[in-house]
């Protein structure tokens, strides 16, 4: 694998086009914090599989368009070379491009919206980095969340985006917190795997395995924490009595999965104290996910990965307090 990577990097050294491809692949990998082109390739394969299996080619097209639009905007804005090469200006655009066709009808104006969202995600990234740098935390997917929320809310006021009725009112999906059913093993495994694939907005088992493979390629610990985070999220959501269908669709688990990977492997060095801290953060992300689902339902917009952003910031801001045990990253 290392030889293959070395070959790829040599090829990139000779070709501006391949370098551009490399930046975009790394952008895909950064959705789960991995700066590795092959991880990004596996992630894009997973996205393609999930989109095509759901007969939603527009989601795949949107994701790629958003990713490329973001990278081009970053070039135009002359961002820092290091961040650009690591794909840090691409992942938000990819997510914007996946989310818009997921929630909006495929009108011609949708593609203008994806381009606009991909471009603005870079501006939002630069701004967020400038603010959060002072607190020594990362921007995470906040630029994606902010940009997409504004675009989705606005779509309710724009006929060109195919929205017909305002979001408020009786037609809301009720949150049904009935006493939860016993969770059978099949539903449990489904919930765990779909919690991972829903990070990219699709519930699909094959995609989930491809995401895990991509993660393991760059960081076995990240794959382990993703899986453990998903198990913990599904279990605690179930014990709290969340609607079983949401749990097994992975819809309460994708933000906790991101929290688990971020706290357990990206911003702290893995270890027992860190694992316990990450577990607390993961469980609280389940709470935050449910809370934001309730809070945003009247607005007719999804919470996206906002629960992850909120809880990861909450648990990263006091970071110095795990240092004592030599378990913090330098």
Tell me the CA distances in angstroms from 50 to 13, 47, 106, 116, one per residue in order. Answer: 32, 5, 18, 25
* Number of amino acids touching its own copies (CB under 8 A): 72
- Interface characters, 126-145, with its own copies (x: CB under 8 A): xxxxxx--xx----------
Which C-beta is closer to its own copies: that of 123 or that of 216? 123
Query: Which of positions 235-254 make contact with its own copies (CB under 8 A)?
Result: 239-243
Q: Is 318 in the site for its own copies (CB under 8 A)?
A: yes
- Interface characters, 83-122, with its own copies (x: CB under 8 A): --------------------------x------x--xx--
**Whole-angstrom distance, CA of residue 235 vs CA of residue 183:** 9
Q: Is 75 in the site for its own copies (CB under 8 A)?
A: no
Which C-beta is closer to its own copies: that of 127 or that of 205? 127
Contact 314, 283 (CB under 8 A): no
Which C-beta is closer to its own copies: that of 163 or that of 219? 163
Phi, psi of 174 (to 5 degrees): -75, 145
Query: Which of positions 255-314 make contact with its own copies (CB under 8 A)?
Result: 280-281, 283-284, 287-295, 297-299, 313-314
Q: Shortest CA distance to 307 belongs to which of 244, 269, 242, 251?
A: 251
Q: Is 321 in the site for its own copies (CB under 8 A)?
A: yes
Single residue of 153, 189, 221, 328 touching its own copies by CB under 8 A: 153
Query: Chain-centre distance of CA 13, in angstroms?
Result: 30
Phi, psi of 268 (to 5 degrees): -120, 160
Following CA atoms 137, 208, 44, 222 in sequence, which dihedral angle do they give, to the nearest 10 degrees? 40
Q: Is 322 in the site for its own copies (CB under 8 A)?
A: yes
Residue owning tokens 């391949």: 18
Query: Which of positions 171-200 make contact with its own copies (CB under 8 A)?
Result: 172, 174-175, 177-180
* Ranges of H-type helices in 142-204: 142-155, 185-197
Which C-beta is closer to its own copies: that of 2 or that of 321? 321
């Amino acid at each position: 694998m290392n030889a293959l990577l070395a070959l790829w990097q040599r090829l990139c050294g000779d070709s501006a086009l391949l370098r551009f491809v490399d930046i975009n692949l790394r952008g895909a990998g950064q959705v789960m914090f991995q700066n590795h082109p092959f991880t990004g390739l596996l992630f894009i394969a997973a996205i393609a599989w999930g989109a095509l299996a759901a007969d939603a080619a527009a989601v795949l097209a949107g994701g790629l368009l958003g990713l490329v639009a973001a990278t081009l905007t970053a070039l135009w804005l002359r961002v820092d070379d290091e961040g650009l090469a690591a794909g840090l200006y691409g992942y938000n655009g990819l997510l914007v491009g996946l989310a818009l066709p997921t929630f909006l009808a495929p009108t011609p104006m949708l593609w203008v919206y994806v381009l606009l969202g991909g471009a603005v995600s870079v501006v939002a990234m630069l701004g967020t980095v400038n603010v959060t740098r002072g607190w020594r935390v990362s921007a995470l997917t906040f630029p994606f969340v902010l940009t997409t929320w504004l675009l989705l809310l606005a779509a309710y006021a724009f006929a060109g985006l195919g929205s017909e009725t305002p979001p408020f009112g009786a037609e809301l999906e009720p949150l049904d917190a009935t006493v939860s059913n016993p969770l059978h093993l099949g539903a449990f495994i489904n919930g765990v795997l779909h919690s991972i694939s829903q990070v990219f907005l699709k519930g699909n088992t094959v995609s989930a395995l491809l995401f895990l493979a991509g993660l393991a390629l760059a960081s076995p610990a990240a794959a382990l924490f993703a899986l453990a985070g998903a198990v913990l999220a599904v279990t605690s959501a179930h014990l709290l009595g969340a609607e079983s269908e949401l749990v097994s669709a992975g819809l309460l688990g994708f933000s906790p999965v991101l929290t688990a990977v971020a706290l357990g492997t990206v911003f702290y060095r893995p270890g027992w104290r860190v694992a316990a801290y990450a577990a607390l953060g993961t469980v609280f992300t389940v709470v935050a996910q449910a809370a934001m689902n309730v809070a945003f339902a009247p607005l007719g917009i999804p919470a996206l990965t906002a629960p992850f952003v909120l809880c990861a910031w909450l648990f990263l801001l006091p970071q110095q307090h795990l240092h004592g045990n030599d378990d913090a990253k330098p």
